[in-house]
């Protein structure tokens, strides 16, 4: 049955290596002084972050990725977001992707919440008309009250997280990428976020989640994969009676 | 998110530049004064140092200085601002696929707006010190601005993308800019350069531009050869910068 479901993300035997850039990010001076050695090392020293990973995510599924630090979780997320291309293999992503940005990323502290919401929405791919049409909803969901027109340097980290989350979910995404973000914000807001993500699931929005917190993952996800050393280790299907 | 409308790109650039301007002024009316004050203070220092102490003889030296310092300031601020712009926005670059070159465009256009806004101050100085503006030469001002815009964009794109990989480039750039300042006829006249070093003027698009800014505002003239040459540089430099940036940008998220 499930095999007939529409797929929204497909990884087909995906490999990704990074040349060890620290050779050059160490600086021009070091690079030039050790030029022959540096060039040779750049050719040889590759770090394979993802090693032949294959999986599929279905439309409307809540999909969790777990694994220790350096397992390749972030690289996988980056490939779904389209900011990193695989070295080998295919990554197919269908629909509009909305990443949840790190706390305050893309925000400017001297601008107001309203101004930042507009700017952030544009950075996430919306036109200004689209944002203005949803601005009331965005601001209402963020529950900023009279702080809306205050510079966000006056905000608490929870308020900033609410605004960031609110903009991301109002971009009308087909796929939402959630990367350990919800650790910030108070409990009631976390509840609200998860409730919103449940709604999304019912509307057919795919959600990919990365977290270290197994409990949260098991409570929310339909399926969890564990990766280690860039390879698939296990797949758990979570059966939930609701 | 494959193909976006041209409306989207317009919104992106407008909002990014608006942000830069708002942040610079911090919703402060004095913001404008501050941005003008810096080159004016510099002009005062050079005036005292070179004309009053070193007795360099250049007529209308204050105006002469301003006409070099305002364009230089635009160039300097944009190149320095761009060099760190990718690292400063690494959070966005690692997560979203919006076109990275727009960060550089926004930095450069913001400084351009400030440069153009310094025009009234310039005109004021002209009226006080050197009555008689010839309007037909002023028509060339927008052309010079566009040429300079593309020179700066090219260099900024180049520096911004390479600095992602070589993080100490920004230090090197600061040193080079400092040297370039004295290699460009900002505080002295092009005519004072010894014959042996004259060739350097031709190698430096900023020299060509500054000579022409002075020609159109101060000497009611225009150096067509320099205008043409600087346009050529603008096209070439922009193409180089844009090509290098485009080739490197897919790696930014991996390195940052």
Residue B34 lies in a domain: yes
Q: Is there a contact between B15 and A110 if contact means CB atoms under 8 Å apart?
A: no
Whether A173 and chain B come into contact, CB under 8 Å, resolves to no
- Is residue B180 situated within a structural domain? yes
d(CA B217, CA B204): 21
Burial of A50 (0-12, 13-18, 19+ CB in 10 A): buried
* Residue A31 clears pLDDT 90, i.e. is over it: no
Top pLDDT among A182 and A85 is at A85
Nearest partner of B206 among B169, B171, B176, judged by Cα: B176
Q: Give the three-state DSSP class for B190.
A: helix
Q: pLDDT category, A1, cuts 50, 70, 90?
A: very low
A58 - beta bridge partners?
A: A7
> Higher confidence at residue B45 or residue A4?
B45
Which residues of chain B are under the pLDDT cut of 50?
A: 1-2
> What is the C-alpha to C-alpha distance for residues B169 and A31, in angstroms, rounded to an integer?
12
User: Cα–Cα distances in Å, from B76 out to A170, B105, B157, B172, B244?
Assistant: 39, 15, 14, 14, 21
Distance from CA of B141 to the nearest CA of A (A): 32
B15 touches chain A (CB under 8 A): yes
In this complex, is the C-beta atom of B172 within 8 Å of any C-beta atom belonging to chain A? yes
B1 falls within a domain: no
The beta strand positions in A37-195, using DSSP E, are 46-58, 62-66, 88-93, 97-99, 175-179
**A50-108 confidence digits (pLDDT tens):** 999 999 999 999 999 998 888 889 899 999 999 999 999 999 999 999 988 877 788 88
More confident residue, A117 or A36: A117
- Residue B188 makes CB contacts below 8 A (sequence gap 6+) with B50, B56, B58
Average pLDDT over residues A130-142: 94
Any domain includes B101: yes
Predicted confidence at residue A156, as pLDDT, reads 87
A97 or A44, which is more confident?
A97
The predicted pLDDT at position A15 comes to 94
Mean pLDDT of A169-173: 92
- Minimum distance, in Å, between the CA of residue B10 and any CA atom of chain A: 9
State phi, psi for B220 to the nearest 5 degrees.
50, 60
Query: What confidence score (pLDDT) does residue B2 get?
Result: 42
> Which is higher by pLDDT, A21 or B6?
B6
**β-sheet bridge partners, residue A235:** A225
Question: How close is the nearest chain A Cα to the Cα of B100, in Å?
Answer: 10
Cβ(A116)–Cβ(A108) below 8 Å = yes
Partners of residue B12 in chain A, C-beta under 8 Å: 122-123
CA-based nearest residue to B39, from B147, B118, B148, B120: B118
Task: Give the number of beta-carbon pairs within 8 Å between A and B.
Answer: 96
Residue A101 at interface with chain B, using a CB cutoff of 8 Å: yes
B3 touches chain A (CB under 8 A): no
Residue A21, Ramachandran bin (φ over 0: left; ψ between -120 and 50: alpha; else beta): alpha
Please indicate, yes or no, if residue B224 is contained in any of the structural domains.
yes
Instruction: Name B34's Cβ contacts closer than 8 Å, sequence gap at least 6.
Output: none
Whether the CB of B87 is below 8 Å from some CB of chain A: the reply is no
Query: Is residue B15 included in any domain, yes or no?
Result: yes
Average pLDDT of span A134-141: 94
Alpha-carbon distance of B110 to B205, in angstroms, equals 21
| CB of A108 less than 8 A from some CB of B | yes
Kindly identify which residue of chain B lies nearest to residue A85, measuring between CA atoms.
B250
Which residues face A167 on adjacent strands? none
Which positions in chain A touch B103 (Cβ < 8 Å)?
none
- Residue B213: per-residue pLDDT: 96
Domain span at residue B109 reads 6-255
Q: Whole-prediction pTM value?
A: 0.90
Chain A residues whose beta carbon lies within 8 Å of the beta carbon of residue B173:
none
Interface check for B168 against chain A (CB to CB < 8 A): the answer is yes
Contact at CB, A27 and B167, closer than 8 angstroms: yes
- B56-81 pLDDT, tens digit each: 889 889 999 999 999 999 999 999 99
Domain ranges of chain A: 2-95+213-237
Say if B82 falls within a structural domain: yes
Percent of chain A with pLDDT over 90: 51
Q: What ipTM did this prediction achieve?
A: 0.85
Domain count across chain B: 1
Facing A25 at nearest CB: one of B5, B91, B165: B165
- Give the angle subtended at the CA of B45 by the CAs of B40 and B47, to the nearest 5°: 90
In CATH terms, the fold of domain A2-95+213-237 is: Rossmann fold (3.40.50)
């Amino acid at each position: 049955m499930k095999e007939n479901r529409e797929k929204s993300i497909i990884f087909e035997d995906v490999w990704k290596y990074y040349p060890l850039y620290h050779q050059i990010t160490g600086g021009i001076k070091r690079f030039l002084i050790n030029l022959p050695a540096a060039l040779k090392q750049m050719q040889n020293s590759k770090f394979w972050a993802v090693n032949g990973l294959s999986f599929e995510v279905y439309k409307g599924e809540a999909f969790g990725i777990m694994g220790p630090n350096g397992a390749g979780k972030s690289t996988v997320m980056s490939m779904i977001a389209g900011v990193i291309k695989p070295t080998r293999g295919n990554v197919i992503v269908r629909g509009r992707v909305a990443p949840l940005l790190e706390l305050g990323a893309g925000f400017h502290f001297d601008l107001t919440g309203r101004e930042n919401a507009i700017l952030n929405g544009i950075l996430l791919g919306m036109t200004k008309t689209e944002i203005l049409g949803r601005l009331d909803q965005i601001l209402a969901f963020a529950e900023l009250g009279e702080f809306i027109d205050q510079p966000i340097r006056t905000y608490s980290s929870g308020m900033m997280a609410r605004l960031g989350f609110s903009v991301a979910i109002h971009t009308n995404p087909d796929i939402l990428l959630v990367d350990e973000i919800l650790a910030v914000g108070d409990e009631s807001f976390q509840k609200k976020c998860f409730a919103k993500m449940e709604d999304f699931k019912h509307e057919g929005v795919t959600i990919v989640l990365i977290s270290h917190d197994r409990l949260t993952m098991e409570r929310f996800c339909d399926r969890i994969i564990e990766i280690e050393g860039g390879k698939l280790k296990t797949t758990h299907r979570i059966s939930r009676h609701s | 998110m494959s193909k976006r409308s041209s409306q989207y790109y317009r919104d992106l650039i407008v909002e990014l530049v608006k942000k830069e301007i708002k942040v610079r002024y911090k919703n402060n009316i004095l913001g404008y004064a501050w941005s003008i004050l810096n080159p004016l203070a510099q002009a005062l220092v050079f005036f005292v140092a070179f004309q009053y102490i070193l007795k360099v003889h250049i007529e209308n030296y204050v105006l002469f200085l301003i006409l070099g310092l305002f364009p230089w300031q635009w160039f300097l601020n944009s190149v320095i601002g761009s060099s760190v712009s990718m690292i400063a926005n690494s959070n966005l670059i690692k997560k979203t696929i919006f076109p990275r070159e727009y960060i550089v465009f926004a930095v450069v256009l913001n400084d351009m707006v400030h440069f153009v806004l310094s025009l009234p101050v310039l005109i004021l100085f002209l009226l006080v010190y050197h009555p008689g503006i010839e309007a037909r030469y002023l028509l060339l001002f927008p052309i010079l601005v566009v040429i300079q815009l593309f020179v700066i964009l090219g260099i900024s794109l180049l520096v911004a993308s390479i600095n992602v990989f070589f993080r100490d480039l920004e230090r090197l750039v600061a040193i080079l800019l400092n040297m370039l300042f004295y290699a460009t006829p900002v505080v002295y006249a092009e005519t004072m350069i010894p014959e042996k070093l004259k060739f350097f003027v031709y190698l430096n698009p900023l020299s060509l531009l500054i000579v022409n800014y002075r020609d159109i505002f101060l000497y009611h003239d225009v150096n067509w050869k320099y205008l043409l040459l600087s346009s050529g540089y603008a096209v070439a430099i922009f193409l180089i910068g844009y090509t290098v940036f485009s080739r490197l940008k897919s790696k930014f998220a991996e390195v940052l």
